[in-house]
Structure 1
Amino acid sequence: MRAAAFLYPWDVVGDPDAPARLAALGIRQVTLAAAYHSTRALTPRHPRHRVVTAAHAAVLYPPGERWRGREPRPYAAGDWAPGDAYAQAARALTDAGLDVHSWVVLAHNSRLGDEHPDTSVVNAYGDRYPWAPCIARPATRAYLVDLAAEAAVRPGTGTGGTELESCGWYGLAHLHAHDKISGVALGEAGQYLMSLCFCASCRAGYAEQGLDPDESAAAVRRALEPVWRGEEPAGGWDAVEQLLGAEKAAATRAWREKTARTLQEAAVRAVREAAPAGFQVLLHADPVSYRCGANAGVDPAHVLSVADGVVVPCTGGAEPLAPFAAHRTPATVLAASLTVVSGMGGRPAALADDAARAAARGADELRLYHAGLASDSDLAHVAKALSRLE
């Protein structure tokens, strides 16, 4: 199986040994961040630092002229990725014989929501989620589509493809600094209801589906009352229907799925128009279409008719691959994403077995999260496993 590892530019820039060390693991590709959200990251092998703090979501290269005079527009990185950090890292990696694909985070940007409040998801209580741009708003969609095209295709860097993360709805769940939202067990149904957006664009969308937006928001609040009392709803879509009513649930889902599908189509089209022939476009995806997050909920048949393939989270098991495998073509890429950082719940010692299970479910490639964050011990397990998979 072809194996790729995720990486940040700051894992490479300033560390001349990093490219050769990565190539020695047995990976063939690096999926290198070009546009990324805020984070605090360890760099356990870097000669100049051990912790990098990316204070806000940013592009890790100088934003282009297309953004002149526009709002919203991407933020340049600070001292954690100065200048064209992406290009510096990409060229060093390609010189070491590694393929480089860009890693582009789209609908996840807290600074955007703080500085442009009208871009954010607004829940049924009127609370804004500044980290979650509403993908139904026309100006936000235009920003995300242009960001996808620019960040994915970095001319002169040897970049041969891209992976689009958060190309869909983001909701309540968020790895926010000092999160304190787990005191009530929402379950999957509660997460869905708390992630429904009621901004002006979404209210108009619900009206197109035959719903009264104000009554629908009130229905969501009523449905959540038992949850606030401590009654955890059952999982799955059936629970959403029980809480909200089948008709309202179906109408909200129809609006959200239509919005996500058209964004995915537009983003992939924009990347392909900007890219050279043969440029690969993958989406980080969840096969359950109503789910939110970095791995956007998609319709498997639809997304594989739009993109070249998907990257699917499989650390908890390979079952999410099956819905995609049912709709693949001979050209489809199904990449199983496996966490190999033991301190983040990964299983580097079991990588060979996990990869075999993913292959049995249809995966033909691996994505390893994350070569820059893993300890030397974790990476030794990765190298051993990849040598067995050759």
Structure 2
Amino acid sequence: MKASAFVYPWDVDGDPEAPARIAALGVRQVTLAAAYHSTRALTPRHPRHRVVTAEYAAVLYPTESRWAGRGLRPYPAGRWAPGDAYGRAAEALAAAGLDVHTWVVLAHNSRLGAEHPDTSVVNAYGDRYPWAPCIGQPATRAYLVDLAAEAAVRPGARGTELESLGWYGLPHLHAHDKTSGVALGDAGQYLMSLCFCPACRAGHAAQGLDADALAAAVRAALEPLWRGAPDDGGWPAVEKLLGPDTAAATRAWRDTTARTLQEEAVTAVRAAAPEGFQVLLHADPVSYHCGANAGVDPAHILSVADGVVVPCTGGPGGTDLLAPFAAQARQDTVLAANLTVVTGMGGSPGTLAADAARASAAGATELRLYHAGLASDRDLAEVREALSAVR
């Protein structure tokens, strides 16, 4: 199976040994971040640093003239990825014989929410989620579509992987996070991720819902969960809490909004890209799920994009999310199983060969390895051994 390793530009830029080390893993491709959210990352082998703090979501290359005069625009990176850090890393990786695909994070941007608070998702209590741009807002959608096209189609790139191309909600890794005191399942997370910004209030109204009444119903439905009642999880629980008709109307607005954004973004990328450019989405086969792996309808998204990247870490059951995509796949569809290979982040590089075999049996055609820059030397040695066995 073809394998690609995720990499940040700062893993490679300034480390002349990095490209050969990554190629020696046995991967044929790298998925290199071109637009990325804020993070704090280890660089265990870099000759100049060990910790990189990306202070805000940014593009990791010089932006283009399309943003002149626009209120919503991507932020250039600071000292963690100066100038064309992406371009320098991509050139070095290509020189080592690796195909370079871009990695583009879209609807996940805390600085955008801080500086333009009206762009953020607003929950039923009136709380804003600054990390989550609302994809129901026309200006935000236009920004995300243009960002997708620009960041995806970098010089020399042969494809892209679009992350967070959908709704982002309550779940979010945050500094000193204190949100796990109440265990919310799928139903609670969905209710806490419903948006009530002006655009979404209008969207709810178009589905026959009164936005104020809906917000009150959501708050009432959540009240037992705050008191410790179990969240039964799943869509039936949402229907039970809101009522089937109301639940269906909220989902109709959100599903349509996400689907049309995904169509527009992929169309824009294809228009900017050379022939044969591959477009994949990081995806979850449950359309009401939020986050980095956008909730999608498998049949729809595989009619739009060339394939998906699906989270598959987690032992024997980790490949369960592949099945709905495999059922809709064409002969040329890419189904990439995303496996964490960093032990300290819950990954299991020692079982990579077995995990790859399970993924293949579930329909995966390729592997994605998270993450070549973050992994220890021991982790990388086990990846090399496993990929040698897979080949």
1:257 to 251, 255, 260: 255
Task: State how 1:1-390 maps to structure 2 within 5 Å.
Answer: 1-155=1-155, 158-316=156-314, 317-390=318-391
SS of residue in 1 equivalent to 2:330: coil
Helix, strand or coil at the partner of 1:159: coil
Provide Cα deviations, 1:344-379, integer angstroms capped at 9, x if missing partner.
Answer: 000100000000000000001000000000000000
Segments of structure 1 that go 5 or more residues without pairing to the other structure are: none
C-alpha separation between the residues in 2 aligned to 1:17 and 1:228? 52
Structure 2: distance between partners of 1:331 and 1:206:
38
Distance in 1 (CA, whole Å) between partners of 2:300 and 2:97 is 34
Q: Residues of 2 paired with 1:352 and 1:331: CA distance? A: 24
Indicate the RMSD between aligned Cα atoms, in angstroms: 0.5
Matched AA of 1:261: R
Residue 165 of structure 2 aligns with an amino acid whose one-letter code is C
Give unpaired runs (5+ residues) of structure 2. Answer: none
| TM-score, normalised via structure 2 length | 0.99
Structure 2 SS opposite 1:327: coil
Deviation digits for residues 323-350 of structure 1 (CA, Å, limit 9, x no counterpart): 0001111110000000000000001000
Cα offset for 1:318?
0.4
1:154-188 alpha-carbon deviations (Å, 9 max, x no partner): 12xx2100000000000000001111100011111
Q: In the alignment, residue 238 of structure 1 is paired with which amino acid?
A: P
Counting aligned pairs with the same residue, the percent is 79
TM-score (structure 1 length as normaliser)? 0.99
Report the CA distance between 1:36 and its aligned residue: 0.1
Amino acid at match of 1:205: G
How far does residue 153 in structure 1 lie from its aligned partner after superposition?
0.4
Detail structure 1 runs of 4+ shifted over 4 Å in the superposition.
none
Q: Distance in 2 between matches of 1:186 and 1:46?
A: 39
Equivalent position SS for 1:74: coil
Cα shift at 1:232: 2.1
Q: Which amino acid aligns with 2:264?
A: A
CA distance in 2, matches of 1:13, 1:378: 21
Q: How many residue pairs align between the two structures?
A: 388
